[in-house]
Chain A
Amino acid sequence: MIELENVAYSYGGGELLSDISVKLAPGSFHFLTGPSGAGKTTLLKLCYGALLPTAGTVRLLGADVRTLQRDDIAMLRRRIGVVHQDVQFLDHLPVAENIALPLTVSGRGGAAQGDDLEELMAWVGLTGRAQGLPPELSGGERQRAALARAVIMSPDVVLADEPTGNVDWEMSQRLLRLLIELNRMGKTVLIATHDLSLIRAAKAQVQARVLRIANRRIQLAGADL
């Protein structure tokens, strides 16, 4: 699905990531962890084409990102669902339309989305907030809305950057369960988090591998975590 080969990335000054080789197999469940500022978000951005590596090769769904045109990246994003730490919505549109936005922009909106959308809203527990505006949502509701928006196109991969960053423990458990469910449906999942208890909770339910960024490099963390 996603392959990084000897990838390095540097922001102006020094290298943030170097010599990173990771392969996310279809249907796998990965955590990405490491201290703040270690480059978790940067690595995720490399995984959905928002950044290009300064060295090495990134292959997304079989295509080298360097060869992709802007429109190819847009098509790629329809197959890779992304949940940001600080999710953004179109604040003037109701929640339901925001969740259906990927369908709208890919020209698949309209009547067809009706049932699926309702089912999805129920799945993330937002049925009651469908007509509310995004700024009215709580932190947890925003994260769940973002997750719903990320998966409405039935993507092959779901990338989540600190999806539980702004929510309480109970809500983070709920989000985790949703992500695990997605993984059981065959989606490749990658979650960046510094919350080790979340990782422990997940390990009880799913076979998850943990990637740790340390000293600009990536290591496969032991099972003893």
Chain B
Amino acid sequence: MKLNLNALQSLTHSDRQADRVVPPSGFTARLTLFAAAAMAFLAVFALALSMATGRLASQWSAELARTATIRIVAPLDQRATQTEAALAVLQTTAGVQSARALSDEEQSALLAPWFGPEVSLDGLPVPRLIEIVETADGIDAAGLRLRLAAEVPGAVLDDHSRWRAPLVKAASRLRLLGWVATVLIVATVAAMVTLAAQAALAANAQVIAVLRLVGATDRYIAQAFIRRFTLRALAGSALGVVLGVIAVVLMPSGGSEMSGFLTGLRFQGLGWIVPFLIPPLTALVAFAATGAAARRTLENLS
């Protein structure tokens, strides 16, 4: 590691003379730059995706885990009594922080998207909903169901776990995919830089032979290439990250809770730092990849 640090230091200290011994290569240089930029751009989105889904997964499991709903399905004349009874049961249930019945207005607001705002619910046997907010410990759903079955025949407890579990699972899987994509992108950068470096080393076989003949050490020769590819990868991926972050910033955000997932792709808080770690990481990967390629090539020369 110490040697690596030294080598890194020698990259920053500018040795233009050493840089000049390898002929400039316009076209392949631009290709490396482009590929690094494209990969960094993609990495920004992969990171945004995995961080957003990670956030969603924990948000959903946290929020939904602490709420439950009771539906009172009963004829209109018994509905109010059963609601009272259910609330009474809830008051003596461990793990319930608060419980309240939704008002008629709230229920019609919930149904408005399907029935339209003009429809009156007065004559319809719409079940009454009771919203339960749990304490951190949560409720014993099975026990509560038994008590409700005995005392409030029309009550149905829904602790959301039925649809919460697959959603949280899906979000976690999506986050995993995002990370896998990021790792693949980094590996691709390494492969691409190795190929480009290999090609450059092969194209400059004569230069390397001349340098060896006049007494250049392997380190000196390798450095001219390493420096070049590291700086190219750094510049390319910095460009890609800037463009990617701009694209993420320009994505529409906010809106109602209905569109929460798609608009939640932006980074949040300290998350904004993460994409800017991509260029140094890319440079490090390019540094290692070129170094390995150069070592392999040079060891085969006399």
Interface residue ranges, A against B (CB under 8 Å): 45, 49-51, 70-71, 74-78, 82, 84, 88-93, 97, 101-102, 104-106, 109-110, 149, 153
Does B217 interact with chain A (Cβ within 8 Å)?
Answer: yes
Q: Can you list 17 A-B pairs with a CB-CB distance of less than 8 A? A: A70-B217, A70-B298, A71-B217, A74-B212, A74-B216, A75-B215, A76-B215, A77-B212, A77-B215, A82-B213, A88-B209, A88-B210, A91-B23, A92-B23, A101-B21, A105-B214, A153-B215
Does B29 interact with chain A (Cβ within 8 Å)?
Answer: no
Please, how many angstroms separate the alpha-carbon atoms of A183 and B203 in the complex?
Answer: 38
B21 touches A74 (CB 8 A): no
A90 touches B207 (CB 8 A): yes
Does B24 interact with chain A (Cβ within 8 Å)?
Answer: yes
Please, how many angstroms separate the alpha-carbon atoms of A160 and B211 in the complex?
Answer: 17
Which chain A residues border B206 with CB–CB below 8 Å? 88, 91
Return A98 CB to nearest CB of chain B, in Å. Answer: 8
Does B17 interact with chain A (Cβ within 8 Å)?
Answer: yes
Within 8 A of A (CB), among B174-225: 206-207, 209-220
Closest to B214 in A: A102
Which chain A residues border B2 with CB–CB below 8 Å? none
Which chain A residues border B162 with CB–CB below 8 Å? none
A-B complex: 8 closest residue pairs judged by Cβ atoms = A77-B215, A105-B216, A78-B215, A92-B23, A102-B214, A50-B302, A74-B217, A71-B217
A77 touches B218 (CB 8 A): no
B218 touches A105 (CB 8 A): no
Does B20 interact with chain A (Cβ within 8 Å)?
Answer: yes
Closest to A150 in B: B214
Which chain A residues border B23 with CB–CB below 8 Å? 90-92
Known: A71-B217, A110-B17. A105 touches B24 (CB 8 A): no
Which chain A residues border B218 with CB–CB below 8 Å? 70-71, 74
Q: Given A70-B298, A88-B209, A88-B210, 17 other A-B contacts at CB below 8 A?
A: A45-B302, A70-B217, A71-B219, A74-B212, A90-B21, A90-B23, A92-B24, A93-B20, A101-B214, A105-B18, A105-B21, A105-B211, A105-B214, A105-B220, A109-B17, A110-B17, A153-B215
Closest to A153 in B: B215
Return B226 CB to nearest CB of chain A, in Å. Answer: 16
Interface size class of B (residues with CB under 8 A): 20 to 34
Which chain A residues border B17 with CB–CB below 8 Å? 104, 109-110
Which chain A residues border B207 with CB–CB below 8 Å? 90
Please, how many angstroms separate the alpha-carbon atoms of A82 and B302 in the complex?
Answer: 14
Closest to B220 in A: A105
Q: Could you mark each residue 11-25 of chain B with 1 if its beta carbon is under 8 Å from any beta carbon of chain A, else 0? A: 000000110110110
Which chain B residues border A74 with CB–CB below 8 Å? 212, 215-218
Closest to A89 in B: B210
Which chain A residues border B217 with CB–CB below 8 Å? 70-71, 74-75, 105
Please, how many angstroms separate the alpha-carbon atoms of A99 and B118 in the complex?
Answer: 94
Of the candidates A45, A91, A97, A101, the one having the most CB atoms from chain B within 10 angstroms of its own CB is: A101
B209 touches A104 (CB 8 A): no
Which chain B residues border A102 with CB–CB below 8 Å? 214-215
Closest to A87 in B: B210
Which chain A residues border B213 with CB–CB below 8 Å? 77, 82, 84, 88
Which chain B residues border A92 with CB–CB below 8 Å? 23-24
Please, how many angstroms separate the alpha-carbon atoms of A70 and B212 in the complex?
Answer: 10
Closest to A52 in B: B302
A51 touches B210 (CB 8 A): no
Within 8 A of A (CB), among B237-273: none
Which chain A residues border B299 with CB–CB below 8 Å? 70
